[in-house]
Chains A and B, each alone.
Chain A
């Protein structure tokens, strides 16, 4: 198991597969560049991203701001009730604008940044350690907290399992999201203690209810400093009695509990199975999972060497894996932009699109993250994919309605955004960028070239005929007709898989 793919099997199709999965795909030129490398070099060109300079600046507001918050609080206190309400509303509006910027900042890193693999890992950790602004919003400077967590995932994207668990456990957004910030020795809050075992590290059935109540005791004292917007340990609310968690007894602290988790062989099985599923689209067999977990433990629970083995192994390039994964909404959006060499729409439209398809960045539906796979596809989201293709390709957002923008806030603001979206041009595909004049002049070449770019495989004969018929129905092929052809290709079951 886990033997490297033989060099004779490494080709354009496999390079496309690697780029789709370990990144967000690319143009035919991007794929050719990768295919020209050895398999080993190709994997390394994605995984060893530390060697690539990423010039993306941080958002200007991405910093703790105790002075501003202290002043705001004093101003609110001193104001009349009506003025106080207005101040608070102003603050909320600013946080909402920052959140919009934050989404754009991340979409841009995924779609245009030089380190697609690192961003793909950040997306993995965001879905894994799922934390939602919907709850964090109640805490001052909430957008900064979401950014900070996102940066944590970027910094530790391929780092060490225990370090990730500890730093995520102490991350302000997580402390708030799973109520750890509020927990104290009298009646400890069990939320984080439970979910860290059930969803983050071991899985249901690998711990007892008693482990949860004991772990919750060990974790007391982990708290949040609201003024300085960082983790703080408060000895006064820590339970320093003896606890027993997962077989370990003593005056345990939060770190001891998380270290005890990582000592369980199940912790390696759990996270390697989840990574395999995220990147391959399938659940590993027991045998494969055992092999994956072994590699991971052998490498001291570090992710980078494990992932290198994963992207090198022949199992990853099997028939059951290649072109058999449903694109996530983010992959669909970002991957389309990379593939079509087009600009992303403005952040609020990107967000409306992925939201309508079932994935809102910084607002996963629950602490379990997104189910993924075929759960992305319902009659509703499939038609939305077909329609959202118009926005990406034509650069008009006319099919987006107020409800797509209203998100979860019951309708407020949706109308305004929808009207705005209908007025602006939002990127769109440039025909001259993706078809040479020679290809453009011949209808068969148009279908062949677009098919190669969008699917890296051939469509069913009847589908090719349908596309050819569409082109034939046009007297003189305008750019709009070609863009409609691309939109139609994206409105197929085939485009939804990668």
Chain B
């Protein structure tokens, strides 16, 4: 049956709980999903309930720019390594040995500490077939989990939200920063973004202004819609219909009106800002973090976790890894910051009693060329290591270190041993407890990480 309903305001809409599950595109996805969930129509077994108190949490940490894996997880006893890197190869006094062959970069005391306490897994030689050496294309491949010759519209985390987080509010995904990463692009966009919770609100000088702001940013349910009004039928579903409902978050506009995208973002902002700000003001960190953008980001994530924001995915990033010249100093500073920030975050999680619930996964779009260049740097390469931090990780070195023998290289780059999507598959299945194949497009053998 078809009901024609015209609602004047969002509040009125929220009060009207007798709606069918199918809502037109002007309704933000999470509202549509919430009603669907309330009605029990989305009580699919794969739907995840998020309470903010007990669900597992994934923190994705992007090392942007292409981190030089060889000088991060160092094959220090390998002659090929030292031959290829006469200037920037790390000598015995600049590393932290893990065994007779492999060592961490000397600045990674924080990681060494986590490794020794059984909280860190190092996945060696991660990459994908036919590696692309463009920052932007390779980042896109990692963010969308696509094959290197295919373009995917949506991100892997976006597809996780689409597949497994029906009914969740927009804060199910939180990005610390002011841009949504491509991995969040989704058919039903979710995820909020901020870097400074203090400013994450509409600042009004008085109540009347605040009230007017809310009215001006309400959904215009009274305006005529392309199909003549919000048709509420119970046999449609929320993501059918107009292409505008499919507009991915942050994605360049391809059809659809910019204004619809902004209107939905405005509502998400209104919905989430009070809670985020309250938590950030209330929760205290229980560890001291390095003073750096990454340190600040993880500090904020810790607060939000401590405050029980109903979030499954946090996303933070650290830039600067594109070391074409004078790599030693730059990478030293970055890895120091990374290790120290991570160590503080783990301490904080342990003090909160939330360490059981949290898994951190790092990635970088590619490793770098085995041979150093003439400027004390390295050019774009292929495979590199990933780090997984958590209480329940299979701690230690996972996978094999790729061979550095010249005959085993492809165009001067090491070959991957582990497809990054096997790591994603494991995170999805063992940690987020959802089927990976619908999200990754096919079944990858999950690498046992957790």
Contact = CB atoms under 8 A, between A and B. Distances in A.
Contact of B198 (A182, A401, A473, A484): A401
Nearest to B195: A380
A493 B259 contact: yes
A432 interface: no
A365 B178 CA distance: 12
B433 interface: no
A382 interface: yes
Contacts of A378: 175, 178-180, 192-194, 250, 265
A410 B292 contact: yes
Contacts of A383: 199-202, 269, 273
Given A325-B258, A462-B222, A386 B200 contact: no
Given A374-B261, A411-B291, A491 B253 contact: no
Interface stretch (A146-154, A185-193, A227-235, A334-342): A185-193
A403 interface: yes
B380 A190 contact: yes
B203 interface: yes
Interface stretch (A67-75, A249-257, A463-471): A463-471
Interface of A: 179, 182-184, 186-191, 194, 198-199, 204, 209, 281-283, 320, 323-326, 356-358, 365-368, 371-375, 377-384, 386-387, 390, 399, 401, 403-404, 408, 410-411, 460-463, 465-467, 469-470, 473, 484, 487-489, 491-494, 496-497
Given A183-B375, A373-B258, A378-B250, 17 more contacts: A179-B324, A187-B373, A191-B379, A209-B133, A325-B258, A356-B178, A373-B252, A375-B180, A375-B252, A378-B178, A380-B194, A380-B269, A386-B213, A403-B199, A410-B293, A461-B222, A491-B202
A338 to B, nearest CB: 21
B411 interface: yes
A493 B262 contact: yes
Contacts of A484: 205, 209
Contacts of A283: 252, 254
A194 B371 CA distance: 18
Interface residues of B, number: 70
Contacts of A187: 371-374
Contacts of B372: 187
A118 B255 CA distance: 29
A177 to B, nearest CB: 10
Contact of A184 (B199, B215, B374): B374
A435 to B, nearest CB: 19
Nearest to A412: B291
Contact of A324 (B223, B258, B371): B258
B448 interface: no
Contacts of B380: 190, 194
Interface string B225-246: 0000000000000000000000
A375 B202 CA distance: 20
A7 B132 CA distance: 50
A182 B216 contact: no
A379 B223 contact: no
B94 interface: no
A462 B218 contact: yes
Q: Which 8 A-B pairs have the closest CB atoms?
A: A378-B193, A466-B215, A379-B269, A493-B262, A380-B194, A187-B374, A182-B375, A373-B252
